[in-house]
Structure 1
């Protein structure tokens, strides 16, 4: 990225000239999380911005600065407006845009850019301010929900006895902000049903986050190189990719390992960072399996296809997945899946793996063992996963978002 120091106030970078791109439309994407943040919403938003720009749109992203001071930077063909930020007290690595004066800041940005459409990626600080500013400027708004309270409660240290109350309050807030949008999407049908069940009365469209099927595909010829690259023994491998946090339920995967080891020499590989790593290391040591659990830490996005190439089966024990991009990437890479029967994960498992009741370690171990000891079963499940993943091509998702933008801008002009 190349930073651009021009600014028009201490709190926001200058929007720059309002001339439109020679092709496409001008889209302002507002998000509370964006790379270098490491989470599914940040990755999706980055891929959405880059994909729209590649298709000829003039794309701007407004998000919190990862360092604190505001600035403009360019990332490929995307212009990123970084807002003044402060540390997020309930999360060890993320920052949040400073709320004071943010409404005025966002109004100035929208007045300067004159976007055809504003697309918010959540209801928190930046998304909330963007909706208000867009409404004042008469700009159409698309809202996409990636939020699940269960993903926030562990960081906010909400006591278990208060989580039901906090859950209801959180969903009411989502509904209040999203009710101001012209079009609402979420990654899966079950996530759309969840929004309705939690009190949102508007129409919600399921639009997959999508994955790049050119990058994520079976790579059996890379298996040896992949294991050498990450320093992994040549053993049957169960892989998890994602944050090492409470709602991912990775304790279950490690506790299942000794039962699988009764039948097959296996290792568990965890690719990602998070607050539970030290506890997971202690757990693996306590049950005598520390040498069979490999922690890769942060893996750059460019190396992710190689991580999947090193594995034989993918495990997703998480219970708060609105879609699970990592599971889709694993499926596109030809891996069978063992996943918790929770939230959106059942929609990703149909002949390509097994579901198990969340928390049932014995059931998880049985299903991992069945796949690892059945090469024919593993191949058949891999083929089924490829077929399912094909419907999540990110180009289809990008095209649908462009159609939504076109529908809204046409309606806005006609009004």
Structure 2
């Protein structure tokens, strides 16, 4: 396509209730989306919570190597959580009105239906601005941080989905990372025609080591929180044959770290388990490259960017058969699925990976590398560009 034939660049406003320096799937997706759109010539603005309520304003920030304007709205820490911050809801719509009057975006892409996303969607719809919504949030996942009793939690979930529906109905297009997540969203709300669009990643940024392993390290990457069910992995490790000499690295941090360290000690495996805390991107990639397998026991993944990163690093995957993980793991090809919460079966599946012949192990690595190609970030960016312009081809 010649330069004259290319559509004009868009001014895109991305609304995020969680963003850098937060480390989670929604934040990572928004970072890569914003940087990819800048690289493709668009004028990108991001709205995100401030790190502290005193440091608010518009800043030029470098995200994934690309400069963009990030509008940091004053936010406050939610203390039951180790890093979560929120913008005061009664202030958000006023800030949204002022920002939209100043920026005048062609399209608003919200990453959740919560405070920032809700405010931008409501005020943007009043102005006739096209809204695209990507859902990364299930109310069920928020329950760990509410401190509510069980009966109140059920009420909270029903309220949460109704609140989501009221915001998502303002969008011209609603997406979520996988078909299973889209089906779940349609069952939980009145939305129909939800589009599965992969979060995507650039596989070339990761390195695979296809040489036979002489020692075995399992790795998990992600937030160290209850819904990740890392305790299931810890309970599986003592069930493995000692001859395998398996070690386990938990790459990430979160509110459950101390509890899990205590559990590892109680299980007698503390000397074989490493909790790294937060690491740089370079160390993360090195950890993945050097591991023998990636293990994830989570039951609440709408896609799992960490699993895709492991696949791009040539790792076999052992994953819970829950939510979106079966979309990434082809049982017996690039890894194995296990019944959620079943540490005995998990141990068997880990052994199935580590006991394979070098040739069979390499075939599983190559299957991961092949499967992750379907999640190339350029496909994701092209799809969202079509949605931003209202092109039917995006479907």
**The two structures share one fold, judged by TM-score above 0.5:** yes
Q: Which residue matches 2:3?
A: none
The 5 Å alignment of 1:231-246 reads: 235-246=215-226
Q: Say whether 1:174 aligns with 2:164.
A: yes
Runs (5+) with no aligned partner, structure 2: 1-6
Cα distance in structure 2, aligned partners of 1:104 and 1:253 = 46
**TM superposition score normalised by structure 1:** 0.87
Pick from 256, 268, 289: which aligns with 2:269?
289
1:180-204, Cα deviation, whole Å (9 max, x unpaired): 1111000000010001111233321
* Structure 1 residues 284 and 325: alpha-carbon distance in aligned structure 2, compared to 1, 3 A threshold: same
Mapped contact 2:219–2:250 kept (Cα < 8 A): yes
Q: CA deviation at 1:123?
A: 0.5
Question: Which segment drifts farther, 163-172 or 385-394?
Answer: 163-172
Mapped contact 1:321–1:345 kept (Cα < 8 A): yes
SS in 1 for 2:380: helix
Q: Which residue matches 2:336?
A: 354
Mapped contact 2:209–2:290 kept (Cα < 8 A): no
Cα distance in structure 2, aligned partners of 1:355 and 1:220 = 22
Pick from 7, 17, 40: which aligns with 1:32?
17
The 5 Å alignment of 1:325-364 reads: 325-350=305-330, 351-364=333-346
Q: CA deviation at 1:219?
A: 3.8
Q: Say whether 1:207 aligns with 2:190.
A: no
Q: CA deviation at 1:141?
A: 0.2
Cα distance in structure 1, aligned partners of 2:390 and 2:335 = 38
Pick from 114, 123, 140: which aligns with 1:124?
114
Q: Which residue matches 1:249?
A: 229
Pick from 344, 354, 370: which aligns with 1:387?
370
**TM superposition score normalised by structure 2:** 0.92
Mapped contact 1:54–1:77 kept (Cα < 8 A): no
Mapped contact 2:133–2:168 kept (Cα < 8 A): yes
Q: CA deviation at 1:107?
A: 1.2
Q: Which residue matches 1:403?
A: 386
1:322-367, Cα deviation, whole Å (9 max, x unpaired): 0000001111111000000111111111111100001111100001
Runs (5+) with no aligned partner, structure 1: 1-21, 225-233, 410-415
SS in 2 for 1:60: strand
SS in 1 for 2:295: strand
* Structure 1 residues 91 and 257: alpha-carbon distance in aligned structure 2, compared to 1, 3 A threshold: same
Q: CA deviation at 1:161?
A: 4.4
SS in 1 for 2:205: coil
Pick from 360, 363, 369: which aligns with 1:377?
360
The 5 Å alignment of 1:90-101 reads: 90-101=80-91
Cα distance in structure 2, aligned partners of 1:376 and 1:163 = 49
Cα distance in structure 2, aligned partners of 1:259 and 1:165 = 39
1:214-256, Cα deviation, whole Å (9 max, x unpaired): 11241458x99xxxxxxxxx83011000011100001110000
Mapped contact 2:18–2:48 kept (Cα < 8 A): yes
Q: CA deviation at 1:159?
A: 3.3
Cα distance in structure 2, aligned partners of 1:331 and 1:403 = 28
Cα distance in structure 1, aligned partners of 2:341 and 2:145 = 21
**RMSD of aligned C-alpha atoms?**
1.9
Q: CA deviation at 1:113?
A: 1.1
1:156-210, Cα deviation, whole Å (9 max, x unpaired): 1333444333222211211111011111000000010001111233321000000
SS in 2 for 1:214: helix
Mapped contact 2:122–2:167 kept (Cα < 8 A): no
Question: Which segment drifts farther, 274-283 or 62-71?
Answer: 62-71
Pick from 42, 48, 69: which aligns with 2:27?
42
Cα distance in structure 1, aligned partners of 2:39 and 2:354 = 40
Cα distance in structure 2, aligned partners of 1:248 and 1:49 = 27
